[in-house]
């Protein structure tokens, strides 16, 4: 099936976001969970920049996507939470607490702007780390801010069969709903994720 996708812009304020009424889905997750890699795997081309360094995405990156004859929609790649590069003072010392506060403020500001538009929410979690407090907190917030939301476990290819079964059981216990396991590396679960996206498009 043909997929058309393009990078629209990096949004800093509400004025930077699209205003043409298309469905919107916001991707939320910890830094380095693989949001950009998953976008590229979904659309089968490199539209999102990827990096092995966590905390690279500091703005809301907007992508326009259309799959086959389906209606086009926007994917919002939001900054990752849970990571901050500590700034240095005049002596070269780093303040981790100051970095966390600055990073959290930046994250919360753009996330509030995006979710005021009531997009559907897609929480990405690392399959290797089920039950993290930061993921639990993000899920509780998304469920109140979005009209519909779902959870996707990335990097499932990193786990052996027994490990993935245990991890998915723990995820489903934590989030109290089925979790879609995917891999941007080998494409596992992408068809199931597209089915999920089609559902979210109708509510976002």
Q: Does the global pTM surpass 0.75?
A: yes
Model confidence pLDDT, tens digit, residues 48-104: 977 555 445 568 999 999 999 999 999 999 998 874 443 444 444 444 444 443 445
Query: What mean pLDDT is predicted for residues 157-168?
Result: 96
DSSP string, 80-96: PBS---PPB-TTS-B-H
What angle in degrees, to the nearest 10, is found between the helix axes of 161-175 and 133-145?
50
Q: Hey, is 140 helix, strand or coil?
A: helix
The pLDDT value given to residue 59: 86
Longest dimension (CA), the chain: 58
* CA–CA dist 30, 9 (Å, integer): 21
The pLDDT value given to residue 1: 87
Check if the beta carbon of residue 55 is closer than 8 Å to that of residue 4. no
Query: First-to-last CA distance in the chain?
Result: 23
Between β-strands 180-181 and 149-154, what pairing exists: parallel, antiparallel or unpaired?
parallel
């Amino acid at each position: 099936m043909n997929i058309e996708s393009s990078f629209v812009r990096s949004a800093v304020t509400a004025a930077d976001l699209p205003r043409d009424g298309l469905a919107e889905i916001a991707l939320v997750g910890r830094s380095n969970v693989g949001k950009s890699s998953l976008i590229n795997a979904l659309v089968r081309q490199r539209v999102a920049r990827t990096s092995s360094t966590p905390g690279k995405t500091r703005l809301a990156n907007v992508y326009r996507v259309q799959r086959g004859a389906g209606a086009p929609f926007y994917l919002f790649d939001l900054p990752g939470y849970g990571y901050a590069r500590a700034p240095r003072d005049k002596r070269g010392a780093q303040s981790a607490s100051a970095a966390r506060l600055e990073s959290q403020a930046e994250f919360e500001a753009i996330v509030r702007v995006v979710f005021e538009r009531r997009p559907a929410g897609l929480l990405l979690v690392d399959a290797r780390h089920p039950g993290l407090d930061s993921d639990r907190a993000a899920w509780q917030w998304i469920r109140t801010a979005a009209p519909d939301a779902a959870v996707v476990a990335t990097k499932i290819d990193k786990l052996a069969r027994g490990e993935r079964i245990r991890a998915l059981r723990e995820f489903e216990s934590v989030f109290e709903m089925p979790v879609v396991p995917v891999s941007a590396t080998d494409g596992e679960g992408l068809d199931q994720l597209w089915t999920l996206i089609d559902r979210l498009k109708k509510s976002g």
